[in-house]
């Protein structure tokens, strides 16, 4: 997949802003038709121009792009309230607007010679993977209906399960408190699965410790793996080095999550520095 052009819309109208559960919300934002070409794993960045804080834009993965009956393109994001920007967003109403820039970054790489893939998500890390799951059905049918492993701290951190099952995927769930699915971390059933199956590609998104554990399993089993990193960002444009990660440490390379990511080959990242 190649980098797409992105657009800045200082007046992107909110079409819906729905509370899903606990700290999680879904927001639909009217978007430029360019978003219809967005790749799973790409993201957008938002800023409320009516507020001084936070000063910097905040990145969110593209969760879905839909075209409604009025031929309006709507991009959906799934967000968790963790701080100033997301708290403010949770109080916004349909009809209000945000400044939105996107689609940004590079998405997951998928090739037609892949026969079987699987996905691993932690918490709100499911957001880009649902987009990938539905995109695979349209574009790489042979990879659809695979296995998706979803982990959360509690049942309130587990999202999109019904949606993924309806798309034909097999979902395995774990929660650390045992309130839904198998008790424990998602890496346990995932590792067991890999004893019986050898997918051509693992796609993962979630908190860094989970991604690191998934990457170590993939490296041990020598199964290609791509991870979408949700690191803290500043400018979101490749200009400030705020999101630099060490990549191919033997070459002392640093890449920007906002520009060269957020999706990376898990085998090339320097996990000791993350």
Ligand X SMILES: Cc1cc2nc3c(=O)[nH]c(=O)nc-3n(C[C@H](O)[C@H](O)[C@H](O)COP(=O)(O)OP(=O)(O)OC[C@H]3O[C@@H](n4cnc5c(N)ncnc54)[C@H](O)[C@@H]3O)c2cc1C
Burial of 249 per CB tally in 10 Å (0-12, 13-18, 19+): middle
124 binds, among ligand FES, ligand X, none (CB under 5 to 8 A by kind): ligand X
Distance CA(73)–CA(156), nearest Å, equals 29
Contact with ligand FES (CB under 6 A) among 233, 262, 263, 266: 233
Dihedral angle computed from the Cα positions of residues 216, 193, 151 and 3, in that order, rounded to the nearest 10 degrees: 60
User: CA 12 → CA 75, 125, 190, 248, 258, distances in Å?
Assistant: 10, 24, 39, 38, 21
Angle between helices 187-196 and 208-221 (to 10 degrees): 20
243 in contact with ligand FES (CB under 6 A): yes
262 in contact with ligand FES (CB under 6 A): no
54 in contact with ligand FES (CB under 6 A): no
235 in contact with ligand FES (CB under 6 A): yes
Binding site for ligand X (CB under 6 A): 43, 54, 58-61, 77-80, 82-86, 124, 127, 230-233, 257, 262
Q: Which is nearer to ligand FES, 45 or 174 (CB)?
A: 45
Q: Torsion-angle region of residue 160: left (phi > 0), alpha (psi -120 to 50) or beta?
A: left
Contact with ligand FES (CB under 6 A) among 137, 182, 240, 274: 240
8 binds, among ligand FES, ligand X, none (CB under 5 to 8 A by kind): none
Q: How far is the CB of 92 from ligand X (least distance, A)?
A: 13
241 binds, among ligand FES, ligand X, none (CB under 5 to 8 A by kind): ligand FES
SS3 111: coil
Distance CA(16)–CA(22), nearest Å, equals 18
Q: Which is nearer to ligand X, 43 or 271 (CB)?
A: 43
Contact with ligand FES (CB under 6 A) among 242, 249, 270, 274: 242
Q: How far is the CB of 112 from ligand X (least distance, A)?
A: 26
- The secondary structure of residue 71, as a DSSP letter, is S
The secondary element (H helix, E strand) that includes residue 13 is: strand 7-21
Q: How far is the CB of 52 from ligand X (least distance, A)?
A: 13
Q: Over the Cα atoms of the chain, what is R_g? A: 18
Q: How far is the CB of 216 from ligand FES (least distance, A)?
A: 26
Name the site residues for ligand FES (rule: CB under 6 A).
233-236, 238-243, 256, 258
């Amino acid at each position: 997949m190649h980098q797409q052009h992105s657009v800045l819309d200082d007046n992107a109208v909110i079409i819906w802003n729905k509370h899903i559960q606990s700290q999680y919300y879904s927001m639909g934002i009217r978007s430029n038709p360019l978003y219809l070409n967005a790749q799973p794993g790409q993201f957008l960045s938002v800023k409320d121009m009516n507020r001084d804080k936070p000063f910097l834009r905040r990145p969110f993965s593209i969760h879905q792009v839909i075209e409604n009956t009025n031929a309006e393109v709507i991009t959906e994001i799934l967000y968790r309230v963790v701080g100033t920007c997301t708290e403010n967003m949770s109080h916004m109403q349909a009809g209000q607007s945000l400044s939105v820039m996107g689609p940004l970054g590079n998405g997951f790489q998928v090739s037609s010679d892949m026969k079987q893939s699987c996905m691993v998500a932690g918490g709100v890390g499911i957001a880009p993977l649902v987009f990938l799951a539905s995109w695979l059905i349209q574009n790489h049918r042979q990879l659809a209906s695979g296995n998706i492993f979803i982990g959360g701290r509690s049942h309130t951190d587990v999202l999109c399960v019904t949606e993924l099952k309806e798309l034909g995927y097999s979902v395995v769930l774990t929660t650390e408190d045992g309130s839904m699915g198998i008790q424990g971390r998602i890496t346990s059933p995932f590792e067991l699965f890999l004893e019986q199956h050898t997918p051509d590609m693992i796609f993962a998104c979630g908190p860094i410790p989970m991604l690191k554990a998934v990457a170590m399993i993939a490296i041990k089993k020598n199964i290609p793996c791509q991870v979408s990193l949700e690191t803290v960002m500043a400018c979101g444009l490749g200009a400030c080095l705020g999101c630099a990660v060490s990549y191919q440490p033997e070459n002392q390379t640093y890449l920007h999550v906002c520009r060269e990511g957020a999706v990376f080959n898990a085998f090339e990242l320097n996990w000791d520095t993350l």
